[in-house]
């Protein structure tokens, strides 16, 4: 693993009403910390800090940005702040809850509800090849409820992948880490380096911003479903456009999962955006269709919470 480009804020650092406990994760555009508010309540604190534009060394607090990168950094900071404002309006149990957002240290911060559990990515790695169809359908049916709410607010996620689908201890999924701020840039504004996760990003994310829509998130949902079933993401979409080596799951995994589910995943992974489901509602409707083996159960989590608690306890 390459070394982290930017140094995290130190443990115990007081930032507004929050005290940094430790770093939770790092990405190309941000660092996420576990922090405690003035009441001692744990929160997830996300700091805007793009590697390609800013640098913070050991012992430093404010990132250093060159004159050359300053316009793009400031515009990205504005987008990040607006993302926080938009997400704060979302009140849905399957979407991460934004509690606050503020400016400090020459950048901006987003405060989110801290969730306890594990990512779907961790669950896949722990139970590779053993995820049952009812489990997959239940998790994604509820996750799609949250995504529908996101799209209803004219937002896109643009970074759906198993590591951004969090499974609470009771088994309910919650969508994390939106990529909207780094993608919804106007053509006449400074350009930020596009960020996407190979294998999960749609073909249109490699081509620019004009072709993005709900169908782009649906491709990523399909890739996440593919990871649940096959254990790995599909090949990169930009490589598939040149030479498509992806074998349909309906051909490679028939028998263990219903043909209806396998066909649905293949449908979501069509390279042509117009050939995919055009809305989350259409995808949900297909996900909950009866299969040849019987009726698909409603997305309930009667035993999922216990299984996840057991999994978390062993991890």
What mean pLDDT do residues 193-198 have?
A: 70
Work out the percent of the chain whose per-residue pLDDT is above 70: 85
pLDDT surpassing 50 at residue 48: yes
Mean pLDDT of 108-117: 93
Identify the CATH assignment for 14-113 out of 3.10.129.10, 3.30.160.20, 3.30.200.20, 3.30.420.40: 3.30.200.20
Residue 67 gets which letter from DSSP?
A: T
pLDDT tens-digit series, residues 250-306: 999 988 899 999 999 999 999 999 999 999 999 999 998 865 544 444 444 445 555
**C-alpha to C-alpha distance for 276 and 212, rounded to whole angstroms:** 13
- DSSP, collapsed to helix, strand or coil, labels residue 58 as coil
Mean pLDDT is lowest, of 119-123, 130-134, 209-213, 243-247, for: 209-213
Cβ-Cβ contacts under 8 Å for 136 (sequence gap 6 or more) = 225, 228, 229, 261
Domain 117-314 carries which CATH code?
1.10.510.10
pTM of the model: 0.85
Domain boundary assignment for the chain: 14-113, 117-314
């Amino acid at each position: 693993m390459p070394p982290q480009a930017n140094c995290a804020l130190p443990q115990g650092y007081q930032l507004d009403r929050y005290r940094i406990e430790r770093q939770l994760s790092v990405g190309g555009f941000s660092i996420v910390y576990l922090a405690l508010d003035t009441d001692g309540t744990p929160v997830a604190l996300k700091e805007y800090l793009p590697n390609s534009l800013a640098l913070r060394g050991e012992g430093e607090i404010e990132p250093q940005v060159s004159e050359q990168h300053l316009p793009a950094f400031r515009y990205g900071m504005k987008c990040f702040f607006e993302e926080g404002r938009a997400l704060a309006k979302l009140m849905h149990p399957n979407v991460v809850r934004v509690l606050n957002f503020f400016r400090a240290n020459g950048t901006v911060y987003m405060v989110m509800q801290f969730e306890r559990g594990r990512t779907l990515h961790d669950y896949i790695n722990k139970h590779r090849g053993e995820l049952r169809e009812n489990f997959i359908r239940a998790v994604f049916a509820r996750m799609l409820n949250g995504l529908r709410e996101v799209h209803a607010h004219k937002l896109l996620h643009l970074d759906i992948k198993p590591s951004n689908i969090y499974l609470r201890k009771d088994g309910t999924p919650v969508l994390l880490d939106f990529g909207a701020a780094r993608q919804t840039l106007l053509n006449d504004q400074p350009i930020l380096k596009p960020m996407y996760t190979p294998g999960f990003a749609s073909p249109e994310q490699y081509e620019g911003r004009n072709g993005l829509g709900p169908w782009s998130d649906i491709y990523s949902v399909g890739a996440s479903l593919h990871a649940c079933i096959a254990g790995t993401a599909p090949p990169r979409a930009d490589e598939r456009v040149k030479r498509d080596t992806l074998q349909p799951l309906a051909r490679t995994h028939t028998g263990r999962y219903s043909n209806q589910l396998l066909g649905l995943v293949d449908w979501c992974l069509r390279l042509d955006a117009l050939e995919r489901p055009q809305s989350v509602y259409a995808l949900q409707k297909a996900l909950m269709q009866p299969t040849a083996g019987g009726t698909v159960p409603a997305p309930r989590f009667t035993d999922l919470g216990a299984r996840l608690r057991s999994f978390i306890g062993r991890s």
